[in-house]
Structure 1
Amino acid sequence: MSTHQRLPGVRAHGVPSSLTWIAAAALLLSAQAAVAQTPAAPHAAARAAQAIDFDLPSGPLGQTLLAIAQQGGQVIATDPALVAGRQAPAVRGRYSPEQAARLALAGQPLALTRNANGVWSLAPAALAPAGAASSTTLSEVRVTAQGMAGLGATTEGTGSYTTHSASTATRLNLSLRETPQSVSVMTRQQIEDQGLQSVEDVALQVTGLTLTRGAPERTQMRARGFNIGTIMVDGVPTNLDSDMTGLNTLAMYDHVEVLRGAAGLLQGTGNPSATINLLRKRPTHETQVKLTGSAGRWNNYRTELDAGGPLNAAGTLRGRTVIAYQDTDSFRDHYNNERRLVYGTLEADLGPDTTLSVGAAYNREVNNGSAWYGLPTYSDGSLLPVSRSANYTPPWAYWNKQNQRIFADLEHRWQNGWKAKLSAQASNADMAALYNSTARVAGGETLRYGFVGDSDYTEHMRGLDLHASGPLTLLGRKHDLLVGATWRNQMLHSTGRSAPGYSFVFDPTQPWQTANAPYPTLGAPWGNQLDRVKQYGSYVTTRLNLADPLKLILGSRLDWYDYETSYNGSGSGYSVDRKFTPYAGVVYDLDDTYSLYGSWTKIFQPQGSKARSGTLLPPVTGTNYEVGIKGEYLNGALNGSLAAFKILQTNLARSLPSSECAPGVPSCAEAAGEVESKGLELEIAGQLASSWQVTAGYTFAKAQYTQATSAAAAGARFATDQPRHLFKLFTTYRLPGELNAWRAGGGLRLQSDIYQHTGNARVRQGGYAVVDLMVAWQATPNLDLRLNVANLFDKHYYESIGSTLNGNGFGAPRNWLLTANYRF
């Protein structure tokens, strides 16, 4: 099991640095002080009487009630069993939230009641008490909290594999059918059903995404052939660096939205691949406590406590806390992990139309025996005859991460439907690693440790986002407008030491020999690097209602980007000023079920290569074209899409002979390289029947160099270590009749072959399929038991392919996870 190793900024008992927690405490206390100055007025009741415009299509009753609650700033507590399989009519017009909810419930054998705190509850009509107020207690209460602008819909408690709305593509809260790009949503229900515990787990299951994990802690997520370099938390972009970012717990997130293709309108810089938006859990208006424990193969033990609810009698101050702890070994020899998460947030109603949310999160990962480079092969690229437990890293190696984050959101809503939101985030990340590389002994297949050393990384990120959105009327039609500005400041400091003269030779067919590697003696620091990034941007998005079936979405973004780096005192850098990023999308409703759409957008990535004259090359630019058809079936309970895409990444650097460089310019290049990726995607997600949930997606992506770069000739395949064909499926079904307490499900992942060239050697993994299984039993109204079996048929395969010396990694053998979930 795991032991503690050195981690900068962490005391022996693992408590985060006092500076961060002082800042977090100051934010929390300021929220309490603000609430103390707020009269304990019935804000929910005041909002319930205000008429607002609703435009909700017919759909699942639970999702319609959730949308009404979010738009009206109300809370509706529902038992999923009461709304399962029930449909709501369309709710369109100007109503109070209470009127809208009662319209949605028309013809249903359900009664809507409100308690003294203004929280609405559902109960069977025959059990509902007379009068407006009620203290009815439901057997299993799931609470839906008011959502903040630009965060999409809450999925917790809906029991669905799809969502009513998402905001990742344009920041406007639109349904998936109204969004002119490919968006997938991993809901809270699916996360729990599949037993997913990390963002990497999500990448393995979401349509179109692939995961490269040649070394356990150095993962790379990709889409449509390109690396994903940015992740968003509640819509605010931050750098995605798997070396440092703790991504191994999903306990604090309600759901994950994934936008495939260029996301320049949201983040400005990056690759035309995808962006992953993590949406945090929010405080609840009624008290709820959930305790989760799990045990699995390889001594995998995990506990989680999730508690939330009102903190004062008026319900104007609400809180939520999530604590998670995991201690596990691995199928790899002498590799184990210890992971901790503490997340806390407060939400305060400063008035009927103003909400302040503050919080903090602390994540720590201790990874002993973690490899830096992954597994080697023979020199000709053929795979070694070794067990999946092979680990070429010695037991004394480690890779430890620590992440601290604080955030604050302030939102105000006006009676005319406009909202404004200010978001602030600050994060600190630390990484400490002791590691080795491998090299081949000349004249044979024997390996040696080519480098042994340690690295310490520290990263600070600060971000602000301010935007306002709302309706406007033009030429007799109602449209939507969003304007905003963003700022990001990021600093990364890294140092390292090596072990001079270290020597250890071993037989790669006997990887257990690495357990005998002696502990290194480290010398003086060999490198000191400091990188700084500053980015400012402004953006605008409008959704024009050109005709009843026709919507046009136009957007643009303007960015200023500065990068500075220094290594051992020698510095350089580059900047990009007033970089314009356009966005255009169109959606045409064929009928009440299908919509045609098309979109065009760009994204840019600054580069440090210099032209012949010594000036910087223009940024690498990604252009995304996409057309398709989307559908909402079963009154919105099921979403489907078929998309065709084409991506061009241009201005890639192509090196030139030094003789062509101007005097004083040691090396130069031209922006002549180009990569084209094109393909098809098909996805369906949601409810096939009242007891049957499914998500399935197929992706075909073909990427190649259309113009040569320094790395490849025109016509060569790009990203050969990514499959051209990818299929993912997961489904669950609740059994009928007396077996209604049981659910059964399973998953399938299929992919075509992948390979990588290293000189004349070729490392290859053929296509393969992995099958998963899930069985769940609702033992009592409060206790749910679930068994997940991954890789049911114990498929032997390489999950990642790299070079002959590193980057290769086995997929996990068959394993199981038993989870108990108890709601108080």
Structure 2
Amino acid sequence: MGQAPTCPEIINIKSIHNIIMKYDRILFAGATFAIASIAIPEFLSSEIGYASAENLIQASNQIDSESVEKVQTVENLQQVSTKASGLLAQNATNSVKVTGIKVSPTTNGIEVILETAIGSITPPAPQTSGKLVYFDIPNATLSLPDGDRFLVENPAKGIANVSVSQANASYVRVIVTGVDAVPQASVISRNANPNPVAQTPDDGEEDIVVTGDRAPSYRVPNASVTGTNTPILETPFSVQVIPRDIIRDQQITQVKDALNNVSGVTFGGDVQGRSGNTFSIRGFTGSPVILDGFRRFGSSGEAGTQPNFEVANLERIEVLKGPASILYGAIEPGGLINLVSKKPLATPFYEVELQAGSRNFIRPRFDFSGPLSDDGKVLYRVNGLFQNQNVFQNYTQPDQKYYIAPTIAWKINDQTDLNIAFEYANSTRPATFGIPAVGKGVADIPRDRIITEPSDTVTNTTVNLGYTLEHRFDPNWKLRNAFRYTSYNYDFGVVALPLAFIEATGNVFRVLASQESQNKDYTFQTNVTGEFATGDVKHTLLAGIDYVYRDSRIISAVDFTPRFLNLFNPTYGLVKPSENTLPNFGGSTTTGNSWGFYLQDQISILKNLKLLAGIRYDVLSQRTVNIPGSSTDSGESTLNASAFTPRIGLLYQLTDTLSLYGSYSQSFTPNTATTASGQALEPQRGWGYEFGIKSEFLDGKLFATLAYFDITKQNIAVTDPNFPLFSIASGEQRSRGIEFDVSGEILPGWKIIASYANINGEVTADSDPTIIGNKLFGLPQNSASLWTTYEIQQGDLQGLGFGLGFKYVGDRQGDLSNSFALGSYFTTDAAIFYKRDKWRFALNFKNIGDVKYIESAFGTRGASNNFGDPFTVVGSVSLQF
């Protein structure tokens, strides 16, 4: 064992090739051929460095080849100056300054409002090309707080993005890109100064002073987690999105804090730092967190197998509710969480930020993006940070992290795009354990008390490397091929491991232990999406195949000599031996393969009646070989499972802004337990019904979902009453309830995101009759959240804003036996921020009342109940240039 590596694991392409060829030559060959046949001829024939219409700003990677070809008609544009005198020299005509841009959804499309400090703009005539409409506005210059660019993604239903750029010194270009067709769009101007005065240019070489703001973005109309770019309003299941602006406004640094804004999601703890965050959705534990559609560390969705995720490189967080095996394979029936990474930008973007706060918190961060080639066909983006903070418990090791995530996007030709992404994270942190239950509650001890040793630490290392290749055969059909390599390792030093709590004496039974684990995943995905019609009926077809090969290893060393610690009067200072002197406890290596095949069709039966139907087939195998030690002998076990999982949904749009829907879907996860006869248990099966209503308000600026669901999970492994050392698949759990989520902008500058859930989760079958009817652990019957901000829109205080938030979590049970309870809690957060030119200053106050509460529980009476953070202050200053 030893310390985890402090530098990225070097990925040997030949080794990866050999591994994949060993387990499936056909798949690897097919993927290689697909890349080579599309990319290599274009690469060999391309003229690297050739610039055509170099000042045209690419609105998005979604612009199709026909669009780009038609728009690129302005050759040899002059370099745009960023100085006032430069602009005047380039254009003899007095230009109108655009000082602010707002995007407003309309009934049929979108309206782009250009705010001017003085003067007006004649509405230009639209021009169309492919799936975009663009407007060239003469005698205009951009004077925006973020520089010479404006880009907002998914601002309205059917709109992929809106881009506004300085095409050259004499005109501004507005590009509106549709998702499936040319969008309905218009451009108007509005005087932002109610009392305009004459302005005379300064003779000096001063930078342009800018005012204005960007369009509100608490509302995201589309989500990639659905498998297609279908608007959320038209999907027959519940989807919530946490955009980047909420992450920024709440100064979030952990995914778990962002998910406080979503109904029905509960945090389950971090498994003593080994495997990162665990979550429950609608009461079912082990809901996976995926990154850009890729599962991590196996396909069974088990809890405790996903690392802490960094939010600095995230564009948004998506939550898909209900059984979702149709697209993601073996999964718990509550739902899943999809993290969407930032993508490279076509125009230069640079942002630096410094956060600092309570407990010596410091977090410098950067985000750089732009073109790498003169023709704009190769783009880059890189995010990086360092973080250091003392935890509120009495540990000597701070929580320290290094993170870097570069991405390259290459437009190979007009029909083909390649994206290559890398991510590396290394953290050293305290090996935190929770507190035990005492009687009917948790131990009444100070929040900073620990039951291990102050010097206990764990090191985590994560590496992700992959590509996504997209080829558009025509405007209606697209092929996507993707690969992702993931490596996640953790390594404990010697720690005081709590094994049991003796309530009668108050003593914690501890042993000295060490553990390390290495996990690797190799995932391939290939799918095709197409749009076609059969008569008057329109179809959006999605068909795909995915393959995962997993390799993991875990080994432990334990000295079982008792080291007692009194919970209520602790004395620390254990002398720890060298790690290699601990007795070998044993371990295991596990390898596995899984295949998934799926087919889904979204059918527009009528203009306002849509049917979604699909089915998936999964087959997986797993082999585990024991590493001999004091707890294990040599030996091995195998697991094989397969399942069909359907999904069907119906949605009826009463109006363009109001939808009613109903859906039914299934899920499965393999059981790893065995029967007394040595047979593997049948896979766990889940199914659920959902009915709901979705609506847009205020011209699409505000969006709300109200849903009722009823989910059942069967074949849960429970103790065999006749052979207690073995299991039978007779357990059943049920969860049903209502959820409400709303997000968006109520008035100009006033944004909101809020949620409420009322859920009843219970055990409906078990081999132990005493727990039938018990509540699912960690699940509150009632929970609610609210976050709202207001930013002053004009006047001397323009850019000054305030935020206020609340979170309520009701009583919860600590385990399935319902032997102890976790109390309810109510916390309050607040923020004040100020934006000026390219600067942003913010100060956030979290848990203002310094409420002492239990945030998470892992379902046992042992050391698995964790306090939430105390009162915390975080300040930040950021600059975009």
TM-score (norm 1): 0.84
Whether the 8 Å CA contact 2:42–2:413 is kept in 1: the answer is no
Instruction: Write the distance in 2 (CA, Å) between the matches of 1:695 and 1:281.
Output: 22
Shift in CA distance, 261/108, structure 1 to aligned 2, threshold 3 Å: farther
In structure 2, the partner of 1:291 is: 352
- AA paired with 2:342? K
Shift in CA distance, 442/473, structure 1 to aligned 2, threshold 3 Å: closer
The answer as to 2:870 corresponding to 1:813 is yes
Equivalent in 341, 353, 362 of residue 301 of structure 1: 362
In structure 2, the partner of 1:530 is: 589
In structure 2, the partner of 1:95 is: none
CA shift, 1:69, in A, is 5.6
Equivalent in 140, 148, 153 of residue 146 of structure 2: 140
What secondary structure, in the 3-state scheme, does the structure 1 residue paired with 2:814 have?
Answer: strand
Shift in CA distance, 765/713, structure 1 to aligned 2, threshold 3 Å: closer
Please give the residue correspondences for 1:248-647 in structure 2 after superposition, counting only pairs within 5 Å: 248-334=309-395, 335-367=397-429, 369-371=430-432, 373-378=433-438, 380-434=439-493, 435-438=495-498, 444-501=504-561, 503-511=562-570, 513-514=571-572, 516-521=573-578, 522-568=581-627, 569-577=634-642, 579-610=643-674, 614-647=678-711
- AA paired with 2:638? G
Q: Which has the larger radius of gyration?
A: 2
In structure 1, the partner of 2:744 is: 686
Shift in CA distance, 613/430, structure 1 to aligned 2, threshold 3 Å: closer
In structure 1, the partner of 2:8 is: 16
Q: Give structure 1 stretches of 5+ with no counterpart.
A: 50-64, 93-99, 130-135, 660-665
Instruction: Write the distance in 1 (CA, Å) between the matches of 2:510 and 2:569.
Output: 18
In structure 1, the partner of 2:245 is: 189
CA shift, 1:138, in A, is 3.9
1:174-196 deviation per Cα after TM superposition (whole angstroms, max 9, x unaligned): 11111111111010111111111
In structure 2, the partner of 1:677 is: 735
In structure 1, the partner of 2:288 is: 230
Shift in CA distance, 91/38, structure 1 to aligned 2, threshold 3 Å: farther
Shift in CA distance, 81/215, structure 1 to aligned 2, threshold 3 Å: farther
Please give the residue correspondences for 1:113-192 in structure 2 after superposition, counting only pairs within 5 Å: 127-128=139-140, 138-141=144-147, 144=151, 159-169=216-226, 171-192=227-248
1:716-735 deviation per Cα after TM superposition (whole angstroms, max 9, x unaligned): 22x23221111011111112
- AA paired with 2:291? V
Instruction: Write the distance in 1 (CA, Å) between the matches of 2:151 and 2:769.
Output: 52
What secondary structure, in the 3-state scheme, does the structure 2 residue paired with 1:366 have?
Answer: strand
- AA paired with 1:128? A
The answer as to 2:828 corresponding to 1:771 is yes
Report the count of equivalent residues. 758
What secondary structure, in the 3-state scheme, does the structure 2 residue paired with 1:456 have?
Answer: strand
Instruction: Write the distance in 2 (CA, Å) between the matches of 1:727 and 1:72.
Output: 48
- AA paired with 2:690? E
CA shift, 1:613, in A, is 5.7
1:215-240 deviation per Cα after TM superposition (whole angstroms, max 9, x unaligned): 66254211111013422221122237
Instruction: Write the distance in 1 (CA, Å) between the matches of 2:636 and 2:46.
Output: 52
Instruction: Write the distance in 1 (CA, Å) between the matches of 2:263 and 2:134.
Output: 36
Instruction: Write the distance in 1 (CA, Å) between the matches of 2:789 and 2:756.
Output: 19
Instruction: Write the distance in 2 (CA, Å) between the matches of 1:707 and 1:155.
Output: 53
Instruction: Write the distance in 2 (CA, Å) between the matches of 1:727 and 1:596.
Output: 24
What secondary structure, in the 3-state scheme, does the structure 2 residue paired with 1:190 have?
Answer: helix
- AA paired with 2:404? V
Instruction: Write the distance in 2 (CA, Å) between the matches of 1:526 and 1:402.
Output: 23
CA shift, 1:682, in A, is 0.7
1:293-317 deviation per Cα after TM superposition (whole angstroms, max 9, x unaligned): 1001000000111101001110011
Whether the 8 Å CA contact 1:155–1:163 is kept in 2: the answer is no
In structure 2, the partner of 1:707 is: 765
What secondary structure, in the 3-state scheme, does the structure 1 residue paired with 2:447 have?
Answer: coil
Whether the 8 Å CA contact 2:54–2:375 is kept in 1: the answer is no
What secondary structure, in the 3-state scheme, does the structure 1 residue paired with 2:331 have?
Answer: coil
Whether the 8 Å CA contact 2:384–2:403 is kept in 1: the answer is yes
In structure 2, the partner of 1:38 is: 46
CA shift, 1:167, in A, is 2.5
Whether the 8 Å CA contact 2:39–2:412 is kept in 1: the answer is no
Report which stretch shifted further, 39-48 or 79-88: 39-48
Instruction: Write the distance in 2 (CA, Å) between the matches of 1:796 and 1:20.
Output: 49
TM-score (norm 2): 0.79
CA shift, 1:351, in A, is 0.6
Instruction: Write the distance in 2 (CA, Å) between the matches of 1:138 and 1:669.
Output: 65
Whether the 8 Å CA contact 1:500–1:523 is kept in 2: the answer is no
Alpha-carbon RMSD across the aligned residues, in angstroms, is 3.8
- AA paired with 2:466? F
Instruction: Write the distance in 2 (CA, Å) between the matches of 1:204 and 1:216.
Output: 21
1:545-596 deviation per Cα after TM superposition (whole angstroms, max 9, x unaligned): 111110000111111111211223311111124x211010111011122110
Whether the 8 Å CA contact 1:47–1:73 is kept in 2: the answer is no
Report which stretch shifted further, 435-444 or 387-396: 435-444
In structure 2, the partner of 1:822 is: 879
In structure 1, the partner of 2:27 is: none
1:259-288 deviation per Cα after TM superposition (whole angstroms, max 9, x unaligned): 111111121102101211111111110011
In structure 2, the partner of 1:221 is: 279
- AA paired with 2:217? S
| Percentage of matched positions with identical amino acids | 22
1:64-122 deviation per Cα after TM superposition (whole angstroms, max 9, x unaligned): x9898689877999x99733363456259xxxxxxx9999xxx98776999xxxx9999
In structure 2, the partner of 1:57 is: none
CA shift, 1:499, in A, is 2.6
Instruction: Write the distance in 2 (CA, Å) between the matches of 1:244 and 1:421.
Output: 27
- AA paired with 1:388? R
What secondary structure, in the 3-state scheme, does the structure 1 residue paired with 2:225 have?
Answer: coil
1:469-517 deviation per Cα after TM superposition (whole angstroms, max 9, x unaligned): 121110223221111110111111011111353x433331234x22x22
Please give the residue correspondences for 1:203-214 in structure 2 after superposition, counting only pairs within 5 Å: 203-213=259-269
Instruction: Write the distance in 1 (CA, Å) between the matches of 2:305 and 2:726.
Output: 32
What secondary structure, in the 3-state scheme, does the structure 2 residue paired with 1:303 have?
Answer: strand
Q: Give structure 2 stretches of 5+ with no counterpart.
A: 17-31, 73-79, 81-96, 115-119, 164-213, 628-633
Whether the 8 Å CA contact 1:35–1:317 is kept in 2: the answer is no
What secondary structure, in the 3-state scheme, does the structure 2 residue paired with 1:314 have?
Answer: coil
Whether the 8 Å CA contact 1:792–1:814 is kept in 2: the answer is yes
1:770-815 deviation per Cα after TM superposition (whole angstroms, max 9, x unaligned): 111011101x311000111100111111213454431121111110
Equivalent in 100, 117, 135 of residue 82 of structure 1: 100
- AA paired with 1:83? I
Instruction: Write the distance in 2 (CA, Å) between the matches of 1:471 and 1:798.
Output: 50
Instruction: Write the distance in 2 (CA, Å) between the matches of 1:300 and 1:606.
Output: 41
1:356-396 deviation per Cα after TM superposition (whole angstroms, max 9, x unaligned): 111211011111x322x311244x24544422111222122
What secondary structure, in the 3-state scheme, does the structure 1 residue paired with 2:100 have?
Answer: helix
Shift in CA distance, 155/744, structure 1 to aligned 2, threshold 3 Å: farther
